[in-house]
Amino acid sequence: MNIAKSGYRVFSANSSVACTELAKKITERLGVELGKSVVFQESNRETRVDVKESVRGQTIFIIQTIPRDVNTAIMELLVMAYALKTSCAKNIIGVIPYFPYSKQCKMRKRGSIVSKLLASMLAKAGITHIITMDLHQKEIQGFFSFPVDNLRASPFLIQYIQEEIPDYRNAIIVAKSPSAAKRAQSYAERLRLGLAVIHGEAQCSESDMADGRHSPPCVRNTTGHTGLELPSGKQQAPFPGIELPIMMAKEKPPITVVGDVGGRIAIIVDDIIDDVGDFVAAAEILKERGAYKIYIMATHGLLSADAPRLIEESAIDEVVVTNTVPHEVQKLQCPKIKTVDVSMILAEAIRRIHNGESMAYLFRNITTDD
């Protein structure tokens, strides 16, 4: 394709070479060159972006994969978007396969909904549209004042199961907690497999911490002044202390696997695998219940801290993630980690948006529960 006449450019906002691999794969599929720009950190860690070609009147796609240094990646994206905006780009579309801070999408005591803040920052920087994949909560789309296309990685992971897992017909899809049951059910129905759910005290439910103000209601002290004096000299009845019913504390039952995994291949599915402690614990329980092979399937492989070592030493046989997040270093540390390429659907989304074509083709057979 002649990029001079294509009407759009594709840039990478990453300063790290490892993070530009996905951008290169996408541009190869589109048949265009990666836009000329320089993104770097100055000696005082400030982010600087230099765009090396004209973008006036063009539609610009910024591909930003999120490495371990999340905050630097966000600043790179914001600074590049603002640089393109001030260079008179027509539209600026962010391609952010893994949307950072997506777990901070609920109010927690006196915290904040950080994903809402990030959505506002992206809009202020000049981004007019976002392409992402498997948001942690689909409701995050409502935080944005512009369109969001939330693509799905499940077709690629399901294809991997069918083609790379021998005897997958003898498998069972497992949700590592009740909150993950809907996603697991979607995989089970599409693969015509059974479903199991792990439930019990070893799991830490995200909803247990959500919201909540633990400060007790104000109880008025009526020992001194027993009422309000009215102008007529009469007293109003004392204001009673507020006594609200106390919510009973949750007590989780002993850990249980709902469903028969004996003599089966157990496939645990989730959207993010970061701290692998829960997955390792789930794998041990499934082994105890008779599963002879255990696979983990997740869209975003953050694999922070000691995740590669813990996976290597665990009962997990294989961890399959997509390349929405760079994890080449972790793969060198743990050969159990496998990668599925999703550049095809991201490239097709870019092409359809640029040509004004419908995105419905990319959401075939996707339901609201997926």
148-193 tens-digit pLDDT: 999 999 999 999 999 999 999 999 999 999 989 999 999 999 999 9
| Domains, in order of start, for the chain | 9-151 (3.40.50.2020), 155-202+254-340 (3.40.50.2020)
Of 98, 97, 95, 105, nearest to 128 (Cα)? 95
Q: Is the pLDDT of residue 3 over 50?
A: no
260-309 tens-digit pLDDT: 999 999 999 999 999 899 999 999 999 999 999 999 999 999 998 899 99
| Confidence (pTM) | 0.85
Of 91, 100, 81, nearest to 39 (Cα)? 81
Q: pLDDT-derived band of residue 73, with 50, 70 and 90 as boundaries? A: very high
Query: How far, in Å, are 273, 283, 295 from residue 311 at the CA level?
Result: 11, 10, 11
What gap in Å lies between CA 200 and CA 198, rounded to an integer?
A: 7
Give burial (CB, 10 Å; 0-12/13-18/19+) of 34: middle
Model pLDDT, residue 36? 94
Phi/psi of residue 67, nearest 5 degrees: -85, -165
Amino acid (one-letter) located at 183: R
SS3 100: coil
Strand-pair category, 265-273 with 171-175? parallel
Report which of residues 234 and 113 the model is more confident about: 113
